[in-house]
Structure formats: C-alpha cells, structure tokens
Structure 1
Amino acid sequence: MNGTIAVGVTDASAAQNALQWAIERAVARRERLLLVSVVGTAWGIGAEDTLIAHAAHRAKQILEYAAEKARAAGVDAETVIERGDPVARLVDVSQRVDLLVIGSDFAKDRSALRGVRGVRITAAAGCPVVVVPEIVTRERAGVVVGVDGSEASERAIAFAAAEADRTGEGLTAVMTWSPVPVPFELDEYPQDYIDRMQDITTEDLAISLAGLRQDYPDLAVTTLVESGYPAQVLTRTAHSARLLVVGSHGRGAVARFLLGSTSHAVLSHLPTVTVVVR
C-alpha cells in the first residue's frame, strides 16, 4: 500500500489520541487510513469462544466509530480485525504500510514509565512508528529531532524537517556529547577540552543538517549541542514540543532488529508524540 497510515485502535485514551493524530495527518497529506484492532486469545480459560466473540464484537464497534470519525473528516478508511498477539500482528501490518500510529501503554505497576508494547513494536516494525501519549499535546509547538550522525538519524532529520515544514513550525536539532571518563582525583574537565568537544559536536551537527536550507528555505532551524545523555536531553527539550523524532538505532546498535538505547529510553518516558524512524 502507498500513502497508507495504519492505526492501532482501542478504546484507551492514548489510542484515541493516536487516531485523532493519524486523521489530521491523513487529511493534510491526503493519505488513507487502515484501522486495526487486535483480538487476543484466551488459552486455558473456560468459555474461550464466548470471550473471544465478545472481544471481537467490541472491537468491531470501536473500529466502526473510528472509521466514521475518519470519514467525517474526508479520509478514506478501511477496518480490519486481527487475531493473536497485538505486538506481532501490528508488526506484521507495519510491513505493508507507510506509517504505523499507536497509543502508549503503561507498565503494570502504573509507574511513570510506559509499558513495553510500544518499544517492542517499534523495535521490529517495518516502517516509521508514531507513539502517541495519553497527555494532550495539541497546544504545543515545534518539532525536535535527535541527531547522532547515523543513517537512521539522517532519515529522522528528513522526516522531522518535512513535518516541521508542512506544519509551519520550527525545527530544533539536538546533538549531545559525552566526556571521556577521568580519574576521581580530577574534579573537573579542562575548559579547553570542553570547548573542543563542543566545537567538534557543533561541526558534526552542521554536517548532518547540510542541505536543509536548500530543501526547506523557509524552515526555521535551531540547534542545541550540549554534554549529557542523549535521551535525557531529548526528553527535556521535547517536553514543550508537539513532536519528537528519533532514529531507531544509532551508531552503537549491533543489529537492525534491536532498538537503540536512546530511542528505548525516550519511549519509556514519552514526553510528547514521538516518531521512531528506521
């Protein structure tokens, strides 16, 4: 499918936010929606067929409501009910669409960290994945992108720049550096070392952003370079942004199916709507 956005649909608040986000993007880009609901199994539970039938009926109702909402906005929408593990089924769907949009989930202990489904789906997906939190972000502005010089980072920049240009918002490109470990007896790093690392990283960021001015002459680009852990800096910077875009894995990833530590940590805190680009 070309020009198709898949949406994982449930009645959870984050999933409903994801649906609204996908509808707005589909309207702006004239794309179609594939609305997906996944009905799991109930192995070892009595009256399994009855439970699954009830779940499928409820899923159909939720999908019909979602489709009506999309069509009311002028978006072509198709619905499908999948059976099985939600992570596996949504990963399968991601192999044949251009973008997958899902709502965030909480950990079982209801801690501040989000659950693992979004991380697992993003790690194995065949397309960019948008993870939408349950918090309201409509009043925010700006697009933040994490940069580390990797190929995934380059694709993240392209996605973020196109989105910022489309919405007329500013783009903030973030790149961090980490100092080398020093002996405990050294209280602080020499200032010339700090300045040099800052300059090198600033130059690397400029190289990564080269060409944006030509492609998007009206795009307002701000750069942020600082020492620190990438996920922490990105999470802090994105708290006031409408969108955060990161690569699925950086230069340290050992395999394509592994989610990088930065994107994993960002998804665990999810400061705003976050796109993970492969």
Structure 2
Amino acid sequence: MSKKNTESRGIDTISRYVAGVDGSADGLRAVEYATRGALVVNGSVHLVHAVDVAVMAGAWGAIQDVEAMEKAGQQTVERAVARAIELGIPSDRITSEVVMGNPTAVLSDASKSADRLVVGRRRMGGLERMFVGSTSASLAAVANCPLIVISAAVNPDETGGRKVVAVGVDGEGHSETTLRAALTEARSRGARIIVTHIQPAVPVGMFGGYQLTADAERELLSDARTAITEMVTRVAGEHPDVETEVLVQTGDPVDRLVELSREVDLLILGMRAPTVLGFAIGGMTRAVLAHAESPLMVVR
C-alpha cells in the first residue's frame, strides 16, 4: 500500500531508520534492530556516530587527538555497516556518517529525516537505574520522530517474534497520536496491539492511607474502560487488519508497564513535548526506560 493511501487512513508508513552507533555492544543492538526493521518494510538504514568534542577537553585544553577520534568513529561505523549487511540488507540501502558534536544534538538533527530513531543503552542495576542513559533520556524529549531504545535487558527472543505490540494511553488527546504510532508498528510487523491504561489505585493528591472501596474502584475502571474503548474504536476502528485488545487495570503504572514489557516485542509510550527550557524526559517514562524488558518507543 502506498504511503499516500495509508496516510489518508490515518496511519503513516515506516521507510527510514536512523541508528546511533557508539562502538558498544548496546550500539550494535540498535544497528541490528534498525536493520531488521528496515528489512520488514523494505526500507533503508542510516548509521550515525557522533564524536563528542566536549569530552575531549579538560582544564588544560584538548586532551584527545580529534583526527584520531574521528578515524576511530569511522571504523566503528564501518563495523556497524558490515553487521547490517550480514543481516541481509543490500548495501545500497545503507548510508552512514561520522559527525562532530554532542550525541543528543547530532542524533536529533539526523532524526529530522527519519521515521524511527534507534539507540542502545547499557543494562544497569541498583542506583544506576536512577540515572538511566543520559543520551537516550534527553533524546526522548528532542527527537523529531519516534525514538526506540533497546538494551541488553530486553527479552531473550529476537524482537518481532512475539507479534505483540503494547501501547500505554491515558485517554487524553495526545494518546491518539501514540496509538496511531502503535498501529503503524503493528501493521509493519503483522502484530496485534494491547492498548493499556493503568489507573493508580490511590488517586493522585489523596492523603496517605486512603483506599478506594470495591464499588468505587469498579466504577473508576468501568469509566476508564469506556473512554479508552471509544478512543480505540475511533482511531483504529477503520483498520480491521490490526487486532486490538483493551486492557484497563489498577496498580502502579511503572510496575504494570514493566510487567507487560516481558510479554511483548515493543512497548510504546507517549510523552508531551517539553514546555520548559532544559526539561528532559518525564519521571514515569524514565522509570519504565530503566526497567523495561522489551524495547521501548517514546512518541512525542
């Protein structure tokens, strides 16, 4: 189906992946994910390595040879290109570049011409999780297309094998944008969608110790399920080729979403565009990013 036809029906297409390459095993996972995604949609891959000049300077001036770092970056990209070709993508559908600059700024600029931006992050434990991936966290706030973050913490199956995509929604207007991105992903993968809404058991702002009665909780869930189902029907009802399931439940949103990430190929969350200078990723999204066991896609 042509892009024009799919857009007229409210779903975009995916044709160009951009992957950040940093020479690490996690960066290579991003390359593999982007390549497999491009193969599914008969698209292309652009591999980008940023040489961060800021980390090369100290109190006494430059402490690294910029040319040497640029050469090392080129070798890193060449290895990534070779891996992409190993996975089966034709060389004429791969492009690459080494760019001097801050990784977040470089990848954000590259994302302007991308349908999906993919980056890796290392697996962490304990206190490290509180400071999860500064580049991936900041990119979530400034990327010009949906951002996919993948790490060693993902499920052991090759991404795409479960044929299930999950998307978290809250029923507000921006959730429709998130849901449309999820529909695009599901169609490209031949997957079904779980549309989930997590209603906190204790409403925000209530005094500690307050508990909903069983009747009040049932009413709260019923109202939420009605609102989410209406949204899903409105956005996805014209696309019978994508199987959708609505899952509304109470609990801690982070815990519930992390549990769900163990059962899906991709977890998708929406995030409002930052309105305050210097604002980065939201607290809940950062927490899910730190603990998710599937790749996480953030849609602004």
Interval containing the TM-score (normalised by the shorter chain):
0.7 to 0.9
- For the residue of structure 2 that corresponds to 1:5, the secondary structure is strand
Q: Distance in 1 between matches of 2:298 and 2:240?
A: 25
The answer for unaligned runs of 5 or more in structure 1 is: none
- SS of 1:127's equivalent in the other structure is coil
Residue of structure 1 in register with 2:255 after alignment: 232
Of 16, 23, 28, the residue aligned with 2:28 is 16
Q: TM-score, normalised by structure 2?
A: 0.80
Query: Given the alignment, which residue of 107, 111, 134 partners 2:128?
Result: 111
> By how many angstroms is 1:39 displaced?
0.8
TM-score under structure 1 normalisation? 0.86
Give structure 2 stretches of 5+ with no counterpart: 1-13
Q: 1:52 to 1:197 in 2, by over 3 A?
A: same
- How many percent identity over aligned positions? 23
Post-superposition Cα deviations, 1:60-103, rounded to whole Å, max 9, x if no partner, equal: 11211222333442261111111121122212222332221100
Which has the larger displacement, 38-47 or 2-11? Answer: 38-47
Q: Distance in 1 between matches of 2:275 and 2:227?
A: 22
Q: Given the alignment of the two structures, is residue 54 of structure 1 paired with residue 68 of structure 2, yes or no?
A: yes
What letter is aligned with 1:65?
R
Any conservation in 1 of the 2:168–2:270 contact (CA below 8 Å)? yes
- Match 2:297 to one of 253, 269, 275: 275
Rounded to whole Å, the distance in 2 between the matches of 1:261 and 1:108 is: 17
- Is 1:99 aligned to 2:116, yes or no? yes
Runs (4+) of structure 1 exceeding 6 A deviation are 107-110
Of 20, 29, 32, 2:41 maps to: 29
Q: Match for residue 81 of structure 1?
A: 98
| SS of residue paired to 2:281 | coil
C-alpha displacement at 1:45, in angstroms? 7.2
Query: Residues 6 and 97 of structure 1 are in contact (CA less than 8 Å); yes or no, is this contact kept in structure 2?
Result: yes
Equivalent pair of 1:14/1:135 in contact (CA under 8 Å): no
Q: 1:258 to 1:115 in 2, by over 3 A?
A: closer
Q: How does 1:116-195 map to 2 (within 5 A)?
A: 116-137=134-155, 138-139=157-158, 141=162, 142-178=164-200, 179-180=202-203, 188-195=211-218
Task: Give the distance between the partners of 1:88 and 1:222, measured in 2 at CA.
Answer: 37
SS of residue in 1 equivalent to 2:65: helix
Count of aligned residue pairs for this structure pair: 274
The amino acid across from 1:194 in the alignment is E
Amino acid across the alignment from 2:113? R
Deviates more, 1:213-222 or 1:138-147: 213-222
Deviation at 1:136, TM superposition (A): 4.8
- 197-206 or 214-223, which moves further after superposition? 214-223
Aligned-residue RMSD, C-alpha: 2.9
Give the match's secondary structure for 1:215: coil
AA aligned to 1:89 is V
Question: Is the 1:108–1:115 Cα contact (8 Å) retained in structure 2?
Answer: no
Output one character per residue of 1:187-243: Cα deviation in whole Å (capped at 9) or x when no partner: x42222111101011011102211455433243322221122322221111122110
Question: Aligned AA for 2:108?
Answer: V
Distance 1:65 1:57, change over 3 A: same
* Other structure's SS at 2:32 match: helix
Which shifted more, 114-123 or 222-231? Answer: 222-231
Q: Deviations over 1:133-180 (max 9, x none)?
A: 123533462211001123432122112122223323331111022343
SS at match of 1:249: coil
- Give the aligned residue type for 2:138: R
Give the letter aligned to residue 135 of structure 2: R
Relative distance call for 1:111 and 1:88 in structure 2 (3 A) is: same
Q: Secondary structure at the match of 1:241?
A: coil
More deviation, 115-124/15-24: 115-124
User: Retained in 1: the 8 A contact 2:176–2:235?
Assistant: no
Q: 1:260 aligns to what?
A: 282
Alpha-carbon separation, structure 1, partners of 2:76 and 2:227: 47
Cα distance change, pair 273–184 in 1 and its aligned pair in 2 (3 A): closer
| Aligned residue identity for 2:233 | A
The answer on whether the counterparts of 1:105 and 1:116 sit within 8 Å (CA) in structure 2 is no
Q: In the alignment, residue 202 of structure 1 is paired with which amino acid? A: R
1:255, 1:207 → 2: CA distance?
Answer: 32
